[in-house]
Copies of this chain bind each other. A is one copy, B any other.
Amino acid sequence: MTTFLAVDWGTTNRRVYRIEDGRVAAVESDDRGVKAMAREDYASEIATMRARFGDLPVLIVGMAGSTIGWHEVPYVAAPASIESLAAGLHHVDARTAIVPGVSRLNEGQGEVMRGEEVQILGALAAGLVPADALVCQPGTHCKWVTLSGGSIVDFTTAMTGELFALLKAHSVLAAQLTHEVRDGAAFAEGVRRGAERDLLAALFGVRAASVLGLRDDSDAASYASGLLIGADVAARRVAGREVHLLAEAALGDLYAHAIEMQGGHALRIDSQTAFVAGAAAIGELCL
């Protein structure tokens, strides 16, 4: 198989790629994520994609394979490689398949991912990360993934992005968190305080600093973002380690800054390149 369609079907957004010999021939994004779909919509959505991008095999990645998606596809247990994902594909029909997510159990604690695994193993397939590496995918639910021998062997999910959004929308800090986050001195100050890993107290400090006039409110969002990202990075103990960052530009800059401040070395990877490489590697095995 050299030409197929890959769909990165998330909760809120969706991106469709036409992939030819491992390269992107066409790509289109929209907001027709899983939340915007009823179960009976998927078949016609796929037909529409084929009409638009070519009557080709379709590989679906992400939340379309979850309980709130089209077909629930069981997680593949870590350690997970491109081969494990391919073996765990759910074939909806002969030309349409859904990639499984990955789960991990470690001393009674569980972890799950659905969608990130293709980017991460794709980065590996494309030679963008080594076979043994620490990969960080910031976002609403930030993933920290340990690759060993070319497989995902362990990972941790931090609610960093979601917590920031909650605080901004609904908390006593909402009035202070109205400005854009900037990668400057206030962010760095937040990272330092966040690294003390006393987040519950550090967050209230945003309000106290405002009440006492210790920090300009226009810096509060940057500081609070620093607290959260600083606490997230500190718990991963990155000192002396390389961290491979799969992130869009602005959020990647913030994580890179925090990682470097805590003695790690951040290396950036392009998310789209990684996704396409992962989808192509699975497609080569199965479609």
Contacts and interface: CB of A to CB of B under 8 A. Distances in A.
Interface of A: 67, 75, 103, 105, 108-112, 141-142, 156-160, 162-163, 166-167, 169-172, 193, 197-201, 203-205, 207-209, 211-212, 214, 228, 231-232, 235
A182 to B, nearest CB: 20
- Copies of this chain assembled into the complex: 2
22 contacts: A75-B212, A103-B212, A105-B212, A109-B205, A109-B208, A111-B205, A111-B208, A112-B208, A112-B212, A157-B201, A158-B200, A159-B204, A160-B200, A163-B200, A163-B203, A166-B167, A169-B170, A197-B197, A197-B235, A200-B231, A200-B235, A201-B235
Contact of A200 (B110, B159, B172): B159
Contacts of A162: 171-172
A200 to B, nearest CB: 4
Contacts of A203: 159, 163
B157 A208 contact: yes
Contact of A214 (B110, B141, B197): B110
A207 B103 CA distance: 12
B204 A158 contact: yes
Contact of A197 (B159, B193, B198): B198
A173 B207 CA distance: 25
A166 B159 contact: no
Nearest to A104: B208
A203 B232 CA distance: 12
- Residue with the highest number of chain B CB atoms closer than 10 Å, among A110, A141, A169, A214: A110
Contacts of A141: 172, 204
Nearest to A160: B200
A199 B201 CA distance: 12
Contacts of A201: 156-159, 232, 235
B200 A200 contact: no
Given A103-B212, A110-B205, A166-B170, 9 more contacts: A67-B211, A103-B208, A105-B212, A105-B214, A108-B214, A158-B200, A159-B201, A163-B200, A199-B231
